[in-house]
Amino acid sequence: MKWNWGHAIAAVYVTFALATSAFVTFAMRRSVDLVRADYYDASLRQDERLQAIDNAGRLGAEAGIAADGRSIAVALPPSQRASARGSITLYRPSNASADRRVDLSIDAAGRQRIAMQDALPGLWLVQLAWTADGRDFYLERAVTLP
């Protein structure tokens, strides 16, 4: 059989189709993990989140998140200790199944300590969201557990 330009065109089309099929198969086998299951709803609330971040920034050092060995400490200002309601989300970027959510429960000193002895070592994002005096607040800190 003699090769001519028609055979070359057919070979290019077949090669292209095989390469496309191989790439589609590869892409379909990759896991697609979203950062959040409700990412669309969260994006719609982005302006509210930015206002809450701004509100927390105005509090300065009175509100904060700190890691102390295998525990995480959260502090709120004295004026908000009685009225603060919210949650603390412990977000593990590398493993969504390790994420935890804890209700905000501030003691008389304005602090809450979360024990992380059973948590995986490495990077965690601590997301503190609370409402006090009719305003929303949001703080986020990256902490590394040993």
Q: How large is the average pLDDT for residues 22-36?
A: 84
Residues pairing with 114 in the sheet: 72
Q: Which phi and psi (to 5°) does residue 29 adopt?
A: -85, -10
Residues 60 and 82 in one domain: yes
* Cα radius of gyration rounded to whole Å, the chain: 25
- Residues belonging to the chain: 146
Cα separation, 29 vs 82, whole angstroms:
51
Domain range holding 9? Answer: 1-30
Residue 34 has pLDDT above 70, yes or no: no
Residues 11 and 59 in one domain: no
Question: Of 22-26, 108-112, 123-127, where does mean pLDDT reach its minimum?
Answer: 108-112
CA separation (Å) from 8 to 2, 16, 18?
11, 12, 15
Q: How large is the average pLDDT for residues 40-56?
A: 85
pTM: 0.67
Residue 39 has pLDDT above 80, yes or no: no
Mean confidence (pLDDT) of the chain: 85
Cα separation, 103 vs 140, whole angstroms:
16
Residues 19 and 70 in one domain: no
Residues 109 and 78 in one domain: yes
Of 1 and 141, more confident: 141
Residues of the chain with pLDDT > 90: what percent?
18
Q: Which of 81, 82, 96, 87 is nearest to 139 (CA)?
A: 87
Cα separation, 95 vs 21, whole angstroms:
31
Q: How large is the average pLDDT for residues 26-41?
A: 78
Q: How many domains does the chain have?
A: 2
pLDDT computed for residue 35 by the predictor: 64
Residues 25 and 65 in one domain: no
CATH number, domain of 131, equals 2.60.40.10
